[in-house]
Structure formats: C-alpha cells, structure tokens
Amino acid sequence: MCAMAEETQQTEAIFANYEPVDTGDAYQKVTAAKSGSQWKHDWFVLRSLVSKDFKLKYRRSVLGVLWSLLNPLLMMVVMAAVFSYMFRFQIEHFPVYLILGTIMFDFMSRGTTGAMSSIIESQALIKKVRIEKIIFPLEKVVFELVNFGLALVAAAVVMVYFQVVPSVHALWGLPFIIVMVTLFSTGLSLLISALSVFFRDVMHLWGVLMTAWTYATPLFYPYEMLAGWMQLIVQFNPMYHYINFFRSIMMWNTNPGILECLICAGMAIVTFLIGLLVFRKTESKFILYI
C-alpha cells in the first residue's frame, strides 16, 4: 500500500508541472504554421470556394463565363423593349439607364440571396472542419462581385453603342461606389445568413422582400414620376442612392457631391457593422441549429 501511495504521489507531482492545453489555440497555431498565416489560409479557402461556384455555375455550358456578359445584355434588350415602348418613359439613353441600374441591383440581390443559405448549405463542412464561418457568406458576395465586374464589360458595350461617355468623376467614383455596395451587401449577407440559421422563415420571406425592393428602386422608371411622399420614402432606400451615384458618374456627367458620398458611406458602414456584430454574436451557436 505504501508503494502504491508513493507512486501516486510521484505521478501527481509529474502532472502538476504541466499546464492545461488550449486545443482551440493549438489548432489555430497548427493551421497558421501549415499555411504560413491564418489570413493566407482563409484567403485560400475563399478562393477555392469562389472557383468551385464558377465551375458549378457554368458546368456543361457551351458559352461558359460569357453568359455573365450576355445575360445582362439580353435582360436589358427585353426590359428596354417592354418599358420604353409600352410605358413610354422619356429617359435619354434608356438602355444605358436600365443596364447600369440592373447590374448593380443584381449584384446586391444575388449576393445576399446566395449568402442567406450559405451557412446551412455548408453544414457538412462546418461540422467536420474547424473553419471561419464568416467565409461562407463572404464568398457569395465575392462571387457576385466578380460577376458584377464582368457585367460592367457588357454595360461598357452598351455605352459605346449609344455613345455615352463616363464623366471624369468615374475615376474616383467608380471604385468608391463599388466598395460601398460591396460593404453594404456584405453586412446584409452576414445579418440574414445568421438569422436564417435560427429562423428558416427568413429564407421564404427574402424572395418576397427582394421583389418588393426591386419595384421600390427606380431601375426601369424615372424617380421624378413618383409622388412626393413616395420620393421621400425612396430616400431611405440605400440601393436608390448607390444606383443614382453610379448613373451620375457613368452617364449623367455630374459630380454626386460630398453629401451623397456621406450618405452612401454611412449606409454601407452601419449595415456592415450591424451584420458583423450579429454574426459574431451568434456564430458559436450555429452548430446547434444547422
């Protein structure tokens, strides 16, 4: 008995010298060591997911990525034929007006719609691998950002055809508005992707909301045709400001002004911070609901 007691004391003395290991921290260090840094590792995952989405979207397609150019052009032709001849809107260079508004709104709409279910659709990976969950909604926005860049080429073709020249303000305004819309879309994506994990009703309501949002934004009709009280409501629509800014520098040859820049930036930053806060506060519970 004395020998056993002595061995027990020796064992306890040995383990007393060891500090408890934080397995989460250890995983982060191993991951960082393998990839050079955690940031590089996350960037590699993000690029891989974007590449996968491109391959899935254009798989077995004869034209492949060219559809990113043709789709906005074809939609512009159809909508221009309907709205310019049936409703007789008096908008100069209406096809340019239409395609500029449509491609920017589609960027936000498709990015947020894809991000909304990104956590739920990636549940198999989330349950098996320790990975930054924010990558999944972010990837959907980045994927649509690339598509938006391709759609800009289609818009440029239309502008050349109608001899519409961007203003000099496009040199600074175009990068600015793209960053603001991306930031706004990312914040909205983080918010609804987190909410949809806990409330699946969000996934059903979002399509209805997007339809209403489309008609509430002057995409194919002039802002001036709205009644005074409707114009006041539209002022609270972030996409109206982003699209109006976009058209100002691309086809109207006007300077949006400091106030409009502050409005666009304020809406984007506030939305992003709210989305990021909600996502970070809830992401630890995702595994219990997906």
As a whole number of angstroms, the distance between CA 234 and CA 214 comes to 12
pLDDT value for 264: 96
As a whole number of angstroms, the distance between CA 104 and CA 237 comes to 14
pLDDT value for 82: 66
pLDDT value for 93: 86
pLDDT value for 4: 47
221: left (phi over 0), alpha (psi -120 to 50) or beta: beta
pLDDT along the chain (290 residues), means of 10: 50 44 42 58 78 72 65 72 65 87 94 92 82 90 90 89 90 96 96 93 91 92 87 94 95 92 97 96 87
As a whole number of angstroms, the distance between CA 163 and CA 85 comes to 21
